């Protein structure tokens, strides 16, 4: 299209050159037989020589155009000379003035056309030399009428040509934008695509520099720039960009040198830089950034280039939107992969400590975590939590019951059932094993079937977490809640399987498991271990005389007495029928005998059953572990001692 216009621009100049050549030739012919006509021929010859030399340099359209414009004044002077030597008022060369009127209409604005017409009137009057002759004024009137018509036609022609050129430039710009759109979609990075958009914009706008920056929650972030040096970050609220954010429309600034006192991220106050246009980057109703172009002020103002500016801004928004969509897709894909791993943990771990350790490890693969905890609700005491798992600063801590603490972050999460992101605003109330104050923390509720079962937290002493990190922790927590609930159900099931239904002590299966662990530990550490075997002396008589319900009550009393006289680290089980066992780790034989005596004395008495008082006693055998005894040998030793107590009259504690 540009080549087409330039080609036709050459045609117009060539036509004017040909018309002028004809005009000068006709002028020379009119003066051929007149006195001093040779002067006209000399001038015509000079014109032909000069014009032919100009024609040889026609590859530069500007030279021929300037030559044609400058020659208008020369034409008027020479034409007046021709009129003067060929009969003045009676000269037929008068008609040649129509050429100059046409030249003025084509090349000049209305203002300069009027000055040119005035020059023609005066020159013709001087050439005729008789201002009082009515015929002169009649011809001047004819020239004025022709000039007015030609000027109006020339004005209309220039406006039509200008509109045609603008439309063609508009089409050219649209084609360039279409080509640009096709090229940027092939680029892989956001900065490369926007840099290409800026380079094209600078070329189309004929401007010096451009940049694109994006609004973020942490401030203005430069994406890319070209044409000047810009710092990577700046506070847009102190600069021109803030007005774009406030107004939400394109803003134009000219003569920027007067704003030299305004802090700017680039050198806009250079002597060659005078104008700036800022276009808001709008994603639907939200302004997400700004695009700016700056440079020396041109004939066409940047504010008049809305088609280009709007097209470029729309492409930038599309690229930013595409980049965000691609980033979100990648993030979702990574998150799904993580959740798939968490799902495998859920299905593969029913033991609570192993489960929570695996969850911690999975979270650490994605986040910088210095402290991690899982706290579970205690249904019987809402003011406390069970710190089921706590890892802090490289150390794993044992489970512990802790006060929640009114107003603490954990208490807020449990009460509101909403996640909490904390950055630099925490105190020592945040649970950590080392009691250091984290730099950042995320606490999320563990919700299973609409019920809050606890809270999970990740904390860092080094970095600040953001919303993306919290989204990840929430996703892990949703899976973790399922896993933890399953582990709790498994623990309950396992506890039922290892618990005696009547006394709620451990059953024989639990006794076998715990005794083996205790023997293994005593063998490795060389620590003492004792075992009590307790047998009721009264159960058969109670069952025979009062029934099995009374016998069950008697067994529950025995279990209660045993439980009350042992430590938390000791294990009591109902082994079979009326036999009970107590595993006493870290206890020597003499200490075990003392425990047995306390139990025996408390059982030596009567209990009320309906209208009767039933007497009860127990016989107890005590044995101590000595390596390399087995569990069977230790149990047999205690069993032998218990039968000795029976043979010695019952209601006593015996040793092997």
Active site residues per annotation: 578
The greatest distance separating any two alpha carbons of the chain, rounded to the nearest whole angstrom, comes to 173
Distance CA(254)–CA(274), nearest Å, equals 6
Q: Which residues is 594 bridged to in the sheet? A: none
Q: What is the DSSP letter of 272?
A: T
What values do phi and psi take at 233, rounded to 5? -140, 150
Distance CA(64)–CA(105), nearest Å, equals 17
Q: Assess contact for 462 and 468: CB atoms under 8 A.
A: no
Q: How far apart are the first and last CA of the chain?
A: 115
CB 574 within 8 A of CB 507: yes
Cis status, amide bond into 628, omega within 30 of 0: yes
- Token pair belonging to 558: 């025995």
Query: Length of the chain, please?
Result: 656
Using CA atoms, how far apart are residues 391 and 512, in angstroms rounded to an integer?
32
Three-state DSSP state, 62: helix
Q: Please say whether the beta carbons of 565 and 595 come within 8 A.
A: yes
Query: Which residue, chain included where needed, has tokens 């990840």?
Result: 472
Based on the number of CB atoms within 10 Å of its own CB, is 622 exposed (0-12), middle (13-18) or buried (19 or more)?
buried
Considering only CA atoms, which of 464, 418, 407, 466 is closest in space to residue 439? 464
Which contacts (CB < 8 Å, 24+ apart) does range 140-148 have?
A: 143/97, 143/101, 143/117, 144/117, 146/98, 146/101, 147/101, 147/104, 147/113, 147/117, 147/120
619 CB-contact burial (10 Å; exposed 0-12 / middle 13-18 / buried 19+): buried
Q: Is 55 helix (H, G, I), strand (E, B) or coil?
A: helix
Using the Cα atoms of residue 477, residue 478, residue 483 and residue 489 in order, give the sign of their dihedral: positive
The string of DSSP letters for 589-653 reads: HHHHHHHHHHHHHHHSEEEEETTEEEEE-EEEEEEE--TT--HHHHHHHHHHHHHHHHHTTSSSE
Cα 26 to Cα 33: distance, rounded to the nearest angstrom = 13
- H helices present in 547-588, as ranges: 548-564
Contact 460, 393 (CB under 8 A): no
């Amino acid at each position: 299209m540009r080549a087409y216009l330039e080609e036709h621009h050459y045609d117009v100049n060539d036509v004017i050159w040909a018309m002028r050549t004809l005009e000068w030739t006709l002028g020379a012919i009119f003066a051929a037989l007149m006195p001093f006509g040779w002067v006209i021929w000399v001038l015509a010859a000079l014109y032909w020589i000069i014009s032919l030399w100009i024609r040889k340099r026609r590859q530069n359209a500007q030279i021929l155009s300037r030559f044609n414009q400058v020659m208008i004044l020369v034409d008027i002077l020479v034409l007046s000379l021709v009129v003067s030597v060929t009969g003045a008022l009676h000269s037929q060369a008068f008609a040649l003035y129509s050429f100059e009127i046409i030249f003025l209409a084509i090349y000049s604005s209305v203002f300069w056309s009027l000055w040119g017409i005035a020059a023609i009137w005066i020159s013709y009057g001087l050439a005729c030399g008789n201002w009082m002759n009515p015929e002169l004024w009649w011809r001047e009137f004819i020239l004025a009428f022709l000039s007015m018509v030609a000027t109006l036609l020339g004005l209309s022609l220039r406006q039509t040509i200008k509109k045609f050129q603008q439309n063609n430039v508009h089409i050219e710009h649209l084609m360039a934008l279409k080509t640009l759109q096709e090229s940027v979609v092939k680029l892989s990075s956001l900065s490369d695509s926007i840099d290409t958009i800026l380079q094209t914009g600078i070329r189309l706008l004929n401007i010096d520099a451009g940049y694109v920056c994006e609004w973020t929650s942490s401030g203005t972030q430069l994406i890319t720039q070209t044409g000047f040096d810009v710092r990577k970050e700046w506070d847009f609220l102190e600069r021109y960009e803030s007005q774009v954010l406030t107004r939400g429309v394109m803003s134009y600034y000219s003569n920027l040198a007067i704003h030299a006192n305004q802090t700017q991220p680039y050198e806009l106050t250079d002597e060659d830089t005078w104008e700036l246009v800022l276009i808001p980057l709008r994603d639907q109703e939200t302004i997400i950034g700004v695009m700016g172009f700056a440079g020396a002020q041109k004939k066409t103002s940047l504010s008049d280039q809305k088609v280009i500016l709007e097209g470029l801004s729309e492409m930038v928004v599309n690229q930013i939107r595409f980049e965000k969509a691609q980033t979100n897709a990648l993030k979702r894909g990574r998150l799904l992969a993580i959740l798939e791993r968490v799902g495998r943990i859920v299905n593969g771990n029913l033991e609570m400590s192993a489960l929570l350790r695996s969850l911690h490890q999975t979270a650490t693969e994605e986040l910088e975590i210095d402290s991690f905890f899982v706290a579970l609700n205690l249904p019987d005491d809402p003011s406390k939590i069970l710190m089921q798992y706590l890892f802090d600063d490289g150390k794993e801590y044992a489970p512990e019951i802790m006060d929640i603490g009114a107003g603490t972050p954990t208490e807020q999460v449990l009460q509101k059932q909403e996640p909490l992101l904390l950055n630099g605003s925490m105190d020592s109330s945040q649970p950590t094993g080392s009691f250091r104050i984290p730099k950042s923390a995320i606490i999320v509720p563990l919700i299973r079937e609409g019920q809050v079962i606890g809270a999970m937290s990740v904390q860092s002493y080094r970095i600040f977490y953001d919303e993306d990190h919290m989204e990840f922790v929430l996703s892990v927590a949703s899976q973790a809640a399922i896993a933890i609930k399953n582990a709790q159900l498994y623990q309950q099931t396992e506890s039922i399987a290892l618990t005696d239904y009547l006394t709620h002590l451990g059953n024989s299966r639990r006794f076998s498991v715990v005794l083996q662990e205790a023997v293994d530990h005593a063998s490795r550490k060389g620590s003492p271990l004792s075992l009590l075997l307790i047998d009721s002396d009264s159960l058969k008589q109670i069952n025979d005389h009062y029934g099995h319900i009374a016998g069950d009550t008697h067994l529950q009393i025995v279990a209660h007495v045993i439980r009350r006289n042992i430590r938390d680290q000791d294990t009591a089980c109902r082994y079979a029928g009326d036999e009970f066992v107590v595993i006493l780790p870290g206890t020597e034989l003499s200490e075990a005998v003392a425990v047995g005596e306390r139990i025996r004395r408390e059982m030596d008495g009567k209990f009320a059953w309906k209208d009767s008082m039933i007497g009860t006693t127990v016989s107890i055998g005590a044995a101590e572990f000595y390596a390399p005894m087995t569990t069977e040998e230790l149990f047999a030793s205690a069993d032998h001692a218990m039968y000795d107590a029976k043979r010695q009259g019952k209601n006593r504690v015996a040793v092997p």
